């Protein structure tokens, strides 16, 4: 067998080096954010650019609050609504993904995603809202590092502080004050459940958070919140 050409070996070496650098960039940020609260995330930057195309002086609403100052009701509501196996899985809920695929097949369109809180956080921190196989691959890699390097409490804390809750509204504190005029620590069970059910499409649902659909979803999440396990 003839040896591989030198140019092929060099090309593979360069490719391997680029992959290592790419991974190192992700690992570096994930490690840093284990100890330091993120500033503006990649997803927030995208949303801010979109807002400023319409309103050049637009700013995002976000106030970081530590985990212990977020209502336990909201923690339970978000886990119940978004990822009820959050405590047990290692970043990927394979059973949830299978159910989502089956639901989408029955409906003939994408109506469920099956992404865990960890996967959603990976997207919010370092990626964008664009959908592609490459982005899903990047999301999976970042999710792996989040689960390896952070504990569940840190994952949920950061998620609740950076997730989108309306146009220009990010994090539990900004959402609680915008919709209910209270701090995130003071949210009632009903208020928390209503915020949680907005998460799949917050910019659509913010137009009428008391719609019949959201009210029905809120009642279902309320009935499941007592069983939701969250980090202490």
The predicted model scores a pTM of 0.86
Instruction: Spell out the domains of the chain, with CATH numbers in brackets.
Output: 9-227 (1.10.3810.10)
| Lowest mean pLDDT segment, chosen from 20-29, 64-73, 143-152 | 20-29
CB crowding 12-51: b at 16 or more within 10 Å, else e: eeeeeeeeeeeeeebeebbeebeeeebeebebbeebbeeb
The single residue listed with the structure tokens 């995208």 is 46
Q: What is the pLDDT of residue 104?
A: 54
Q: Find residue 207's DSSP bridge partners.
A: none
| Lowest mean pLDDT segment, chosen from 44-48, 135-139, 156-160, 215-219 | 135-139
Close Cβ partners of 139 (under 8 Å, ≥ 6 residues apart): 119, 122, 123, 127
Mean pLDDT of the chain: 87
pLDDT digits (tens, 9 = 90+) for 110-126: 445 578 999 999 999 99
Between 209 and 6, residue with greater pLDDT: 209
């Amino acid at each position: 067998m003839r040896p591989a050409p030198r140019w092929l070996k060099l090309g593979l070496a360069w490719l391997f080096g680029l992959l290592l650098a790419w991974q190192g960039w992700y690992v570096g940020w994930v490690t840093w954010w284990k100890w330091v609260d993120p500033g503006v995330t990649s997803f927030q930057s995208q949303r801010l650019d979109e807002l400023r195309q319409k309103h050049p002086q637009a700013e995002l609403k976000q106030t970081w609050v530590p985990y212990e100052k977020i209502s336990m009701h909201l923690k339970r509501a978000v886990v119940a609504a978004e990822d009820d196996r959050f405590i047990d899985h290692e970043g990927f809920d394979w059973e949830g993904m299978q159910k989502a695929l089956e639901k989408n097949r029955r409906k003939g369109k994408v109506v469920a995603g099956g992404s865990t809180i960890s996967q959603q956080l990976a997207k919010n921190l370092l990626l964008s809202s664009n959908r592609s196989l490459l982005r899903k691959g990047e999301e999976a890699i970042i999710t792996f590092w989040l689960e390896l390097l952070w504990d569940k409490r840190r994952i949920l804390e950061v998620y609740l502080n950076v997730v989108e809750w309306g146009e220009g509204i990010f994090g539990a504190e900004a959402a609680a004050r915008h919709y209910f005029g209270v701090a995130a620590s003071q949210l009632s069970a009903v208020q928390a459940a209503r915020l949680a059910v907005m998460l799949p499409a917050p910019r659509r649902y913010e137009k009428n958070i008391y719609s019949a659909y959201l009210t029905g979803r809120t009642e279902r999440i309320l009935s499941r919140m007592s069983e939701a396990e969250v980090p202490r």
